Structure 1
């Protein structure tokens, strides 16, 4: 059910709010290429794409939501473009979600529901984009983030309020939905239902024309299927990588610096003594002294402790200062006064009375400057190299922001820029599919968002850095027919073959309706079609397959004694599905499968309740679309993509 709500609560600013109180406004900040251009206020057709009750949806809100939706789809498929998204009906789907969400929020307001300032504040506090370095909410970070994307605090708060209202209205409808016992028993019986029949395929390839299309046919097909021939955006990336080796001269600490560091850390080089103990902690002084006396008299501390129902532990190696912190000053003084192998005088600590046996004494003599000069020099050199590299990268980053070119920086660093092959956003070389250079992996997303010729610096990890820029950008566009004539011809053949296969499927169905078996009807096609496959399966066996093939899904949704056709994926052909017999399943009232079914279908029932509720609300509130404005937004988005 959560996925249902994640898909539904898409806000006009890109906020996603779910039943577990998540708000991810950062999604909106990744989508500023279209939404923040400021051009939609005066788009032809008016500045409102729809009115829902008393609420108005502007052209800029629709464009922002479409941009956000494209970015989300790109997370799964980086090759998706605004053009291809819109060509497949994406803008209508986004608008439908916006209308429904606005209707629910309007209904909630009319019903007396409220989203107060404190509730909105609590949502804002949970948004990661508004947190400072310490992980807590930062007002400056909040204001900077929304201003960066051209938003106002009022707009963000209004948007969150709408999402909260919608959640308050819908959640009670769908929460804790339960399927009636009788209905659960019927659905459980369906799992045991057995179906038998046949499935056949009429492959597109068997019916595809062998000859080439005429120029007119090819051109007409190309023009009507342009969205199928969109090439992804390609970018050539120029870059250099560097680390400590780029420093102009080696970093060598001076003697004065070495001496200063030695004096600063003098305590670290002073004489040290650590000890390892066998430790026993008892609750009172009398028992502690009795056990100590036994151990001093020749009995092992472990045996003396065991007689009292106690057990010893090993402690250390620790210094006197560390033992003082963990136990007490008295315990530490007694422990470090005793000789090796001796039992220290019992002393009181934080946990009780301590009885300690000195098992080992490790004395480290003091070290002079001469003894640690090399160690300190190496430490200082490493620190100074890191600082020098940090200073270098800060300077370079500042200079890049001021307009310095990658070529100039590369020349200073005595490096030759590497030029990649044309790359696509999914990290592959265009045309060959080979992966992009490994160094570009961490910065590829940024490289596909930056403007051409504006280099940036980034950290690669392990004290290495990269300076990169997009040097040659080829926008996503429909490929010219002359360049893809062979591909278009193959697509035309496949399309024509698919049309012919569908006509063949209709002929086969007529023959079956006239009394022929599916195999006989197929054989009259005078094509070497694959023979029909016999199917005998229960619904439970079907669910165990994981992702159910479309023909089998149809097989389990049609009536007995019928034949249906179904188009295969990617114009691969047409399936003929014939259901001969259905054997109903039976379930006893005490069968555990009923409870399992009721639990599983409870979520589905809740989704259905919510869907019906929202549809009724939307019908009650009412909405009106401005098709001219919608078309104008569509044209503007596609124009910006070009």
Structure 2
């Protein structure tokens, strides 16, 4: 637990919050100071729940739910609070808060303690609180707390609860082992094969043909509003600029070109570049002897090989580059030797160079006119970079002082562009396709935290391409007026009505199948022409091999049913109903020495830990006592979803 907590602070993005029982401290991280505050018409100190003698306030519940949503948004940026609540996120947050308080209270009740020194030692080991020398730094500590909306007291309480939970839970959940007899049963499941049929009753075949009345549509929309919530979207207005925005101001004058030529005249004098093949020997005597042999007719490569050295061949280099690659003395000797000749041995830090001049390139001197183009390009690049830096600095100063984006664009002759409404993940609202321009994607995190009409400057390519932008319009996440999406709601209503009739048909078919009528025959007896039955003959191992893929839920249901049973399964979004009929299960128990047995015991260790955790937390809640204030909880939920 504590090592996990430390890892929270290693992230540059702050203190992540995960919903899991063993991460008890996490969900309270972003809870603000709850004393004397108010929350949307509810007293901030009002109890959402009483756990033993400790109260969970409505403000703590609300802020914790917001923090949990922010964490989930790192994987799903378009998720909204109403959808989060509708999918059970809020209820899970409350459950984990209750568990957190219960475990802390239970641990203290039975004498477990997390003293100040122990908490201090944990704080001292959290990387985000350390300075560049690896030591705890109070200023860094306070800045990290402020950045995450925490106080020292909240952090210490969370750490204390975490340490108590560690003392309590780790011994209770240590090394769970699945008994061999039970492991055999579970191992057999991996190799079992199931045979049966699955029938689909699509809602579409039972949909009413006419349009719903306004009363029907309004009632349906009211009951299913969360299905139609649109994510927050924003319209960005921006202008990019780079070297092409500088224009002729970066063009160098004749005087500037001449001055640069004079200042660097040595660069344009006649020069020479040489390429050599060489190796290094430890003593001057050895180098002299080898050079004499080579001058006597032995090749450099042969002499090196016989002496136990490897030859390296270099590229063309001028005198300075050669000195850097070898040594100053060696470079001097190399540039004195003739093409194809041996240079006199010269010392370096590694030993004595034995070098042959392989190639000589003579570069003639260049006049001002001959060097003009090269110098002009250098000056143009330098002046353009300087002008662009000045321009970006001036624009940044303008936007920081409150100048509007329109005024900035006019002053610097920039072309403003506007995006369509975009989502936080870069998709264009209501349009398929790749979404917003890749150049704008790095701006989205900042853009979805900005207020309207507050321009900002950023770099698309550091030092080369800049962008000044603002959020022109923010459309909050909400369900639109029914008039705006009447056709969509009407279609959803027809599917919902069709689903009711499909359910009735599924019930009739289920009754017949349970009366020993074959599934295909029962489906054929329906007045609507239903799709043919899918016959299933599948091993569980085949199903497990598809993990991570989109496994049809009815198949998953079939592998959890008893032999000879038939069940119904509702498709998503009122798509229809499935009748799942399991005829036969073929199972073979593994032998005692089957490797699958040990593998099963190992894999079930984690599942057993989760099971023991569930049982322990249930027992702890029962002993400590939990009272929920459903009125206050519902009020928080309504406030979070904007229903108040």
Is the structural similarity TM-score above 0.5? yes
TM-superposed CA distance for 1:529, in Å, is: 1.7
CA contact (8 A) 1:44 1:629 kept: no
- Larger deviation: 564-573 or 344-353? 344-353
SS at match of 1:403: coil
TM-superposed CA distance for 1:353, in Å, is: 4.8
Partner of 1:216: 215
Distance 1:407 1:135 in 2: 47
Is structure 2 residue 504 aligned with structure 1 residue 494? Answer: no
Q: Is there any run of 5+ residues in structure 1 with no aligned partner, and where?
A: none
Partner of 2:404: 405
Deviations 1:91-138 (A, max 9, x none): 211222333344455666753456443432332438xxx988x99998
- Larger deviation: 471-480 or 256-265? 256-265
Deviations 1:519-554 (A, max 9, x none): 232233322122322222221122223333211111
Distance 1:616 1:318 in 2: 79
Distance 1:347 1:225 in 2: 88
Is structure 2 residue 452 aligned with structure 1 residue 452? Answer: yes
TM-superposed CA distance for 1:567, in Å, is: 1.0
* 1:34-433 superposed matches below 5 A: 39-40=38-39, 43-44=42-43, 46-52=45-51, 57-104=56-103, 111-112=112-113, 115-125=118-128, 143-144=142-143, 146-147=145-146, 150-156=149-155, 158-159=157-158, 162-163=161-162, 166=165, 179=178, 181-247=180-246, 250-253=249-252, 274-282=273-281, 287-317=286-316, 335=334, 338-346=337-345, 349-362=348-361, 372=371, 374-433=373-432
- Larger deviation: 157-166 or 373-382? 157-166
TM-superposed CA distance for 1:560, in Å, is: 0.9
* 1:470-481 superposed matches below 5 A: 470-481=471-482
Sort the Cα spacing of 1:52 and 1:270 in 2 relative to 1 into closer, same or farther, 3 A: farther
- Larger deviation: 395-404 or 629-638? 629-638
Distance 2:640 2:54 in 1: 24
Sort the Cα spacing of 1:253 and 1:138 in 2 relative to 1 into closer, same or farther, 3 A: farther
SS at match of 1:531: coil
Sort the Cα spacing of 1:402 and 1:592 in 2 relative to 1 into closer, same or farther, 3 A: same
Distance 1:183 1:345 in 2: 84
TM-superposed CA distance for 1:506, in Å, is: 2.2
Distance 1:17 1:268 in 2: 62
SS at match of 2:466: strand
Partner of 2:580: 577
Q: Is there any run of 5+ residues in structure 2 with no aligned partner, and where?
A: none
CA contact (8 A) 1:6 1:16 kept: no
SS at match of 1:196: strand
Distance 2:364 2:121 in 1: 63
TM-superposed CA distance for 1:559, in Å, is: 0.9
Sort the Cα spacing of 1:274 and 1:569 in 2 relative to 1 into closer, same or farther, 3 A: same
TM-superposed CA distance for 1:616, in Å, is: 4.7
Distance 1:261 1:162 in 2: 69
SS at match of 1:478: coil
Q: TM-score, normalised by structure 2?
A: 0.81
- Larger deviation: 154-163 or 583-592? 154-163
TM-superposed CA distance for 1:51, in Å, is: 4.8
TM-superposed CA distance for 1:359, in Å, is: 2.7
- Larger deviation: 145-154 or 530-539? 145-154
Deviations 1:2-44 (A, max 9, x none): xx999999x9x9544899xx9x99x989x99x99x97539833
SS at match of 1:382: helix
CA contact (8 A) 1:45 1:629 kept: no
Q: TM-score, normalised by structure 1?
A: 0.82
Distance 2:44 2:29 in 1: 25
TM-superposed CA distance for 1:592, in Å, is: 3.8
Sort the Cα spacing of 1:228 and 1:274 in 2 relative to 1 into closer, same or farther, 3 A: same
Sort the Cα spacing of 1:596 and 1:453 in 2 relative to 1 into closer, same or farther, 3 A: same
CA contact (8 A) 1:207 1:497 kept: yes
Deviations 1:607-637 (A, max 9, x none): 4455555555555555444444433432332
Sort the Cα spacing of 1:407 and 1:333 in 2 relative to 1 into closer, same or farther, 3 A: closer
Partner of 1:532: 533
Partner of 2:507: 506
CA contact (8 A) 1:120 1:161 kept: no
Distance 1:507 1:135 in 2: 71
Distance 2:19 2:484 in 1: 47
Distance 2:360 2:227 in 1: 79
2:640 to 634, 637, 640: 637
Deviations 1:133-174 (A, max 9, x none): x99998766655543554445544654565566567656766
TM-superposed CA distance for 1:331, in Å, is: 5.1
Distance 1:387 1:179 in 2: 70
Sort the Cα spacing of 1:254 and 1:166 in 2 relative to 1 into closer, same or farther, 3 A: farther
Sort the Cα spacing of 1:292 and 1:248 in 2 relative to 1 into closer, same or farther, 3 A: closer
CA contact (8 A) 1:131 1:142 kept: no
Distance 1:254 1:61 in 2: 67
CA contact (8 A) 1:343 1:356 kept: yes
Distance 2:185 2:636 in 1: 49
- Larger deviation: 400-409 or 251-260? 251-260
- Larger deviation: 614-623 or 527-536? 614-623
Sort the Cα spacing of 1:40 and 1:597 in 2 relative to 1 into closer, same or farther, 3 A: same
Sort the Cα spacing of 1:141 and 1:525 in 2 relative to 1 into closer, same or farther, 3 A: same
TM-superposed CA distance for 1:300, in Å, is: 1.4
CA contact (8 A) 1:41 1:59 kept: no
